[in-house]
Homo-oligomer: A and B are copies of this chain.
Amino acid sequence: MARPQTDIEAGRAELLTVVDDLVRKRGAVDISMTDLAAAAGMSPSNLYRFFENKEALLEAVAERFFEDKSKIMVEVTESDLPVRNKMYEFFARRFLVMVQKYEAEPDLLKSYLEIGQQHFEVVRGYVDLGDHYLSLIVAEAMEQGYFQGLSIDETVSLINQMIHCYTNPESIIYIGTGKLRVEKLAHIVDAMFNGLGVQASAELTKESHIKIVS
């Protein structure tokens, strides 16, 4: 008889905390199903009731890793905040969650980031999801006259580049929370809304004096 769904869910959540412990102990080394079964004190065949294969396990790890961030994205996008505040909170809240995670257990975050790089196929969906929600906010801003002359995709890409330091967890590690502050993020969001769009930028590249010095 199949276990009831809630038992499976509870078992999975418990197994994910065992994964945490393994990552704490071993760092970003690959965790096999056999390792996990041993660490959880269950037989491999029992483990497969919870995660049918390694991919399912990795997806569950990613889902939990991005859970808070996904929640924030939905909440902010669906809120009735003014669009500029939406943009700010879309980035600021997730940044603060990341800082909190980093400060609680820096090494655990670093290890998960490495695991994420090794299995980028699992992470890609979450990156795309972020772009999806961002483009909803951008479309709303465009209806109000912002980002004139740019397409949604161009705007999404420019915004992602301008706030890269606040979305890339590596930045928190290398630039540090002394320099990365939500007050600065607010200035950058303002620069987007006040300055990104029909501009003299065509002129900048057209009249460019760029020579490669070599």
Decide: B205 and A183 in contact? CB cutoff 8 A: yes
Decide: A93 and B204 in contact? CB cutoff 8 A: no
> Which chain A residues in 120-165 approach chain B with CB under 8 Å?
150, 154, 157-158, 161-162, 164-165
Evaluate whether A201 and B187 lie within 8 angstroms (CB atoms) in the complex, with A164-B171, A171-B164 already known. Answer: yes
> Please, how many angstroms separate the alpha-carbon atoms of A34 and B7 in the complex?
63
Evaluate whether A193 and B195 lie within 8 angstroms (CB atoms) in the complex, with A88-B204, A161-B180, A182-B205 already known. Answer: yes
Evaluate whether A210 and B93 lie within 8 angstroms (CB atoms) in the complex, with A161-B184, A164-B164 already known. Answer: yes
Decide: B213 and A72 in contact? CB cutoff 8 A: yes
Instruction: Tell yes or no: A20 within 8 A of B by CB.
Output: no
Interface residues of chain A: helix, strand, loop or mixed (majority): helix
User: Which of B96, B180, B201, B209 contacts A186, CB < 8 Å?
Assistant: B201
> Please, how many angstroms separate the alpha-carbon atoms of A184 and B204 in the complex?
11
Decide: A192 and B190 in contact? CB cutoff 8 A: no
Residues of A within 8 A of B (CB): 68, 71-72, 75, 79, 81, 84-85, 88-89, 92-93, 96-97, 100, 150, 154, 157-158, 161-162, 164-166, 170-171, 175, 179-180, 182-184, 186-196, 199-202, 204-205, 207-214
Excluding A161-B184, A162-B162, A194-B195, 16 further A-B contacts by CB distance (< 8 Å) are: A71-B213, A84-B204, A88-B204, A93-B212, A97-B212, A154-B184, A158-B187, A162-B188, A164-B175, A170-B170, A182-B210, A183-B201, A187-B199, A188-B196, A191-B192, A194-B194
